[in-house]
Amino acid sequence: MKRPGLQSRWLCVPGALWIGVFLLAPLLCVVAVSFFSTGSYGEIQRPLTAEHYARFVGFGALGWDALYPFIIARSIFLAAASTGLCLLLALPMAFFIASLPTRWKSAALTLVTIPLWTNLLIRTYAWQILLSGTPFYPGAVAVFVGLVCDYLPFLVLPLYASVEKIDWTLAEAAQDLGAARWNTFQHAIWPQMRPGAVAGIVLVFVPATGQFVIPDLLGGAKTVLLGNVIQQQFGPSQNWPFGSALATIAMLLVLMGLWLYARAAKNDREATLL
Amino acid sequence: MDAVGLVRRFGDVIALDHVSLSIGRGEFFSLLGPSGCGKTTFLRIVAGLDAPDEGTLVIGGQDALPIPAHRRAVNTVFQSYALFPHMNVEENVAFGLRMKRVPRAEIQTRVRRALDLTQITELAARKPHQISGGQKQRVALARALINEPEVLLLDEPLGALDVKLRRELQQELHALQRRLGITFIHVTHDQDEALGLSDRIAVMNAGRAVQVGSANEIYEKPRNRFVAQFVGGCNLIDATRRETHIAHASFGELRVERELPSEKVTLAIRPERILLGRTAANRFDACVVDTTYTGAETQLVLRIGNATLKAVTINNAGATPIRIGETIPVNIPPEALLVLED
């Protein structure tokens, strides 16, 4: 018997082609470029070398300096902190929107997405103006305001979708079996939301690690982040191979983080009591 | 367990209308009624998942209403089972004890015992989506019973199962209840289930407990039209009082053993109490309008005058088949005629 799955496999060909040509191939180029040397005028040339990775780890002309790992750590911290902040705000929002009567739901969801209709730069400049009179600008608070404003919708939408589908009798069952509020949430509600939360966290965390416009404009350019450095390498510094090496490392770190999370989640699901 | 004057309104709808029920320790008590009669609302209030607008609830001598659901000694087997999908059978069953911070070793032994009791030991490592409806039902039961509640609530526990499995589990449920001596409050719209399992039954309609009594009382002495018709089939006969024991129906005089309380009365008789072909008091000639053969018995629709009555006859060996259009003598025994309140 012919499985319907075999035929529908062809349906993903256009998408796969698109991803292959416009995403995977350039990505491989980036990885490849990171192993070439840089000429004095920024040419990408032979011989193949690992010097850019050595430079990242801190072995430069001036001896050892952990500048770049430090920048990456700072970027990841900033991304994690803004993801956490978004999650804290998005959780109650998702529950609130799901509790609204049907006709208000779509209105609320539209409100959530409205910031996305405006260009990121314009939004960020708007925050600059709005916050300029306050002690928060320029500084970390302003950066977080900008980041959260930028990424919140990406967490609210998938979370809302999973809250909508929650089977509340499970919460009642948990209560019935002796679970107080927090336990009910932890054991009966959160597991149902986890897929949505993971999707949202990935959507926020990954782009936030590469973010540089908002920290630049709202942080007063005092903090150098991964995004800034990479942008510098491809722009003013004309050192594409080093920029590529940085991008590759950042990507590997993010992938590793996601992999660790996925493994932890899987273990968690498979853990048995006895 | 004592519930007194429980009232629960949802907007303009009264889900519970002054329901008072007294349920003894170790009793198998059923709430029987059509959907929307308030029986599930009652259960949710006992479980603490809903609160009444008026009334009191005492469980084990203690006012239960201020006690939140998670601290009541009451557990529920939900209609949809409500098993935690991300936990396996064992974890589901252990959940209540984990919440009570029972030591691990004790949880293990009690989980084993509960799984044995409900005969699902071999399913311990499965996830809810990997087991059948009947098995889910057992898991839900084990998960509730492991907490050793004072009262176990069962919300249409067998509703989603096919008939054969249902009968099997009914018997098991009955045996389990006898063995454990826990008070069971069981909600169902299936009268056979209620009659077969329960020590006592409360028939509910439109938010009220219409009649409370043993299966036998409910069936043999229904108080009003609703109970008579909802529990088992019943023929209703409108009549007027002629003498204390003689009623006048549209098709003739009926002698009634019980005393007739008022001028206008509603009499009721179960189909199986109408006797065919006998001669005694209340003898009539009936025309057979329709017959339905169901194997063990044949259901008849009879016409006496302008009244239509249902009757039933057991298909004994050698019983002469009854044909449509035939006129047969029937007897409505005076002692089988019930006098209803409305």
Higher pLDDT, B42 or A55: B42
Q: What would the mean pLDDT of A35-39 be, rounded to a whole number? A: 86
Distance CA B188, CA B99 (A): 29
Mutate to test the interface with B, among A177, A181, A269 (most CBs of B within 10 A): A177
Distance CA A125, CA A218 (A): 8
Q: B62-63 and B208-213 as β-strands: parallel, antiparallel, unpaired?
A: unpaired
Distance CA B64, CA B71 (A): 10
At residue B20, the pLDDT reads 94
Q: Of A137, A135, A193, which Cα lies nearest the Cα of A167? A: A193
At residue A60, the pLDDT reads 65
At residue B124, the pLDDT reads 92
Contact B95 A274 (CB under 8 A): no
- Chain B partners within 8 Å of A269 (Cβ): 86
Q: What would the mean pLDDT of A221-240 be, rounded to a whole number? A: 83
Mutate to test the interface with A, among B41, B49, B59, B70 (most CBs of A within 10 A): B70
At residue A136, the pLDDT reads 82
Query: What are residue B76's DSSP bridge partners?
Result: B153
At residue A114, the pLDDT reads 87
Contact yes or no for B335/B259 (Cβ under 8 A)? no
At residue A4, the pLDDT reads 57
- Chain A partners within 8 Å of B88 (Cβ): 272
At residue A273, the pLDDT reads 34
Distance CA B133, CA B110 (A): 24
Contact B95 A177 (CB under 8 A): yes
Average confidence score pLDDT of chain A:
85
Identify the weakest region by mean pLDDT among A1-10, A93-102, B71-80, B174-183: A1-10
If you measure CA to CA, which chain B residue comes closest to A195?
B86
Question: Under DSSP, is residue A5 helix (H, G, I), strand (E, B) or coil?
Answer: helix
Distance CA A202, CA A254 (A): 10
Mutate to test the interface with A, among B40, B44, B49, B97 (most CBs of A within 10 A): B49
- Chain A partners within 8 Å of B84 (Cβ): 170, 173-174, 187-188, 191
Q: A59-60 and A63-64 as β-strands: parallel, antiparallel, unpaired?
A: antiparallel
At residue B168, the pLDDT reads 85
Does residue A123 have a pLDDT over 50?
yes
Distance CA B170, CA B160 (A): 13
Does residue A250 have a pLDDT over 90?
no
| Model ipTM value | 0.82
Q: How many CB atoms lie within 10 A of CB A254?
A: 17
Higher pLDDT, B33 or A258: B33
Distance CA B249, CA B115 (A): 59
Partner B contacted by A183 (CB < 8 A) = yes
Identify the weakest region by mean pLDDT among A61-70, A185-194, A206-215: A61-70
Does residue A272 have a pLDDT over 50?
no
Residue numbers of A between 146 and 175 with CB closer than 8 Å to B: 167, 169-170, 172-175
- Chain B partners within 8 Å of A188 (Cβ): 84
At residue A271, the pLDDT reads 42
- With a cut of 70, list the residues of chain B below it in pLDDT: 278-279
Looking at chain A, the whole-number percentage of residues with pLDDT higher than 70 is 91
- Chain A partners within 8 Å of B108 (Cβ): 273-274
At residue A274, the pLDDT reads 31
- Paired tokens of A174: 């948990």
At residue B130, the pLDDT reads 92
For residue B86, give the nearest of A169, A191, A272 by CB distance.
Answer: A191
Does residue A61 have a pLDDT over 70?
no
At residue A3, the pLDDT reads 57
